[in-house]
Amino acid sequence: MSFARMLAAATARHDSLLCVGLDPDPARLPAGMKGDASRIFDFCARIVDATKDLVCAFKPQIAYFAAHRAEDQLEQLMAYIRRNAPEVPVILDAKRGDIGSTAEQYAREAFVRYQADAVTLSPFMGFDSIEPYLPYDGKGVILLCRTSNPGGSDLQFQTLDNGDRLFEHVARLAAGAWNRHGRLGLVVGATFPQELARVRELAPTLPLLIPGVGAQGGDAAATVRAAWRPEGPIIVNSSRAVLYAGAGEDFAARARAVALATRSELAAARG
């Protein structure tokens, strides 16, 4: 099943716009695991089990695994999600961006090695840095557009000769000339609701991956009002607020409680 169809099915089945980001920091793991990078898989698997019926997607961040020599644990986790939550799509948050033959290898990493359903990319090297990901039929390709960090404005808010901001130009390309296979989406931060609404205006049907709700301070209700449309799916990500809701043996139950509350808040805003 394609990423788009999996996302639509999981959103409907779980009545959820929530994506749980899997960003495991050994220093923040709960009692009994804290500081032990060999327990990354165990921690993430418990989070998956606790939230798999509440989410529309999971989003592991590759750096949190690679920095601790835990790529094998990431492979194990991806396989675990496919076995235990096969209806939930998995977005590999890699933010890759490179030319031709190198991009081909990154695409193989995401879709063959890790078996991701979608991957995040940086589009700022142009279409030929994105094209190698498109032959993987049904896989989603989600481009950075207006990111949630304050420094994103250094480039993304610059005005081009035609009057567009750079993030608007990326949105137009993703919704138009670049979307030859109909599988592109955009990353737009919840911390910039006005820009989020503008991206939705320019790309009315593209899936939007929206980080920044929770620990980064993005407002869940404002996010849904700005971006959700019946024909335009949204994937609202929360990572730290869910993962580190508890530091004791009940960490998974506490993570579930936060995920449930966030899902309910998003659903109420959707109406």
Tokens of 32: 């009994």
Q: Which amino acid is at 220?
A: A
- Catalytic residue, from 34, 52, 59, 95: name it: 95
Q: Using alpha carbons, select from 127, 94, 121 the residue that is nearest to residue 185.
A: 121
Q: Using alpha carbons, select from 231, 222, 237, 238 the residue that is nearest to residue 270.
A: 222
Q: Is 59 among the catalytic positions?
A: no
Q: d(Cα 51, Cα 44) in Å, to the nearest integer? A: 11
Residues 90, 57: contact at Cβ < 8 Å?
Answer: yes
Tokens of 230: 């019946």
Burial 189-228 (b: 16+ CB within 10 A, else e): bbbbbebbbbbbebbeebbbbbbbbbebebbbebbbebbb
Residues 241, 258: contact at Cβ < 8 Å?
Answer: yes
The dihedrals phi and psi of 145, each to the nearest 5 degrees, come to -130, -65
Catalytic residue numbers, as ranges: 95
